[in-house]
Structure 1
Amino acid sequence: MTISSSAVTDTLRARIRGCLLGGAIGDALGNPVESRSLAAIRAAHGPAGVTGPVPDGEAVTGRVTDDTQMTLFTAEGLIRAHARARSKGIGGAETAVVRHAYLRWLDTQNHPAPPPPSGPDDLVRSGSLRLQPWLYARRAPGNACLSGLGRKYVPDPYAAPTGRPGPVNSGSKGCGTVTRSAPFGLTGAPAEDAFRLAAQCAQITHGHPTGYYAAGAFAAIVRHLLDGDSLEGAVPRVLGLLARHPGHQETTAALRRALDLAADGAPGPEKLETLGGGRVAEEALAIAVYAALARPRSIEDALLLSVNHSGDSDSTGAVCGNLLGAQHGDSALPASWLALTEGRAVVAELADDLAYAFHGPAPAYDEPLFPYERYPHH
């Protein structure tokens, strides 16, 4: 079947929107039950656990966490790096620009609200995300993310000995590397390049090889889904990519367990919990992949499976939502759940900007159709 270029553009936009919005839905779905035991979840919500969005501890439904916050700053950083390369002809600075985006996120975590506007150029200086009050909410950010952003680092994604200082937090492989890395797979770069850049940027805060290789694997899976591959097809391809890199073993083993478990009879939370709690990178990725594969006919059921467990439910829900949205597009997401999700309009706008920047027409840099003023590159 031949698809017109305009249809391809619409499909890409839908998958990019789906990826970011799906992640936000899963994040908000898991947030109220994060780190609660499965027994406690069932006691509070019934034998099936949560069956849809529920209020959190402050009786608010649909609030996202640091997982969605950092994902948005990843996307913003990538667009800024793209704008910098177009305007100045200087490429290859993505890691540094993304790190600056994470520092802007860190700034939101240290202040209660956006600073008051100081003039008409405030938007250009600050970027659009730093003007969003809801992003200033501190929703249990990871310790490695907070500490790593205050230290210098040397990205070394292939763990080659250099005699130089290595990545910060060398023992950290927390799930924050994975939960923020979907945008690396949405730019259209080849899967190996998405893997490499996600691994490099994971090392900004986490230095354990499993932490950054799991992030790279996730980005590469998202890249294949963007091309229209199925999750069943994408994961084995990424396992082949992982095998090229020393230190891949924990991530590879976790993904293989997820594949085997999804093929092994009826799914359920008890079976999911054999993959771990999702607090470290390879477990979060494996749980998300398992849930998406085990419930292939229903996005709602897959998301619910990804959060009804005793571990880091918002993180596993976010990653599962990223995968499902990238595969099926935004129109397949549960509309009633999306309507309750915090910041959904900002997430959609950022997704559209990412789609246009990396997949749209290639106009001159001053083309007025693209809002580069929201992504200052200087």
Structure 2
Amino acid sequence: MKARSVITIGLGLLLFVACKQQEQQQVEGENYPLLTLKPENRQLSVKYSAVIEGKQDVEVRPQVSGTITQVCVEEGAHVQKGQVLFVIDQVPYEAALQKAEAAVATAEANEATAKQTLEGKQLLYEDRVISDFELRTAQNSYKSAKAALLQAQAEKRDAENNLSYTLVKSPVDGFAGMTSYRIGALVSASMTDPLIRVSDNSDMYVYFSLTEKQVLSLTAQYGSLDKALESFPEVSLELNDGTVYEQKGKVDVISGIIDKTTGTVSMRAVFGNEGKRLMSGGSANVIVPYDREECIVIPQGGTYEIQNRIFAYKVVDGKAVSTPIRVFEVNDGKEYIVEDGLKAGDVIVSEGAGLLKDGTVVSGTKTEEN
């Protein structure tokens, strides 16, 4: 009996001590990091899907028909403006030029003969040897000879042009693309596929779009599209592999036309391409920075979520009070900008909010967000 009494007394003492410790802990409060909120400035960014194109991305096509006799370009090679890329069979065009030159020579002789005849008829007419009809006939013959000469000269120029078109040249400086055309291939000016593409990749154009509402907001903020363009910040480029391109870009064009299908306005940013890392036809994301001033920022660790609603614990009279908030997620994945529910001067639990319960007494060191 004595042993049982001793055990009972010992258990009672343990329960008494535990209750005292719990009461003391409740009075002192659980220790959590606290944060006093104040207005702050943040630079945020928004991404827009984009397409990359060369400064000049030209499809090279033949202007005359014939078979390819020479391929003078290597695929992927750097080419210069005016450099010969392909040669089309020149024999028929050289023959056509010789024929046109002969026609010009004949027309020149006929024109000279008609001119001499007219000069003689004029002298005879002045001496009243011939009639007005004969003089007018000579004049008309001379006009016809001059017209025939002009036509022959035009056909000669056309033949010269056609012969020059047999040398297919690069219209720009850039890099040659791939081609499936080889020696002996028959080509024509009406073919749908280009012989080759040449891209000037010294600078790259990156095209993206803003919504009509966003463009109207820019216009309202700056007064006009031109002023909005001047004030537009430098943009970054996120490549398809997730890396950010090392050079910044500048938005240089805002289209003044709204696409009826998408309801968007096209934009163009220019990026330097010294390292030739950007390739024409690629896809990327344009990152546009913008500033949020005098906003309330809290760490995401100071929030918890229930049924797609976000809550924070505001400390009121030493107790944690669950407070629903509306937030904007900062792009660093660590913070929220509070749109509604908290204000400057409020004290919140900045970490471990998911472990707390509403009404818990809390204590800790107050800090201010930097």
TM range (shorter): under 0.3
- From the two aligned structures, give the one with the greater helix fraction: 1
TM-score normalised by length of structure 1: 0.15
Which is greater in Rg? 2
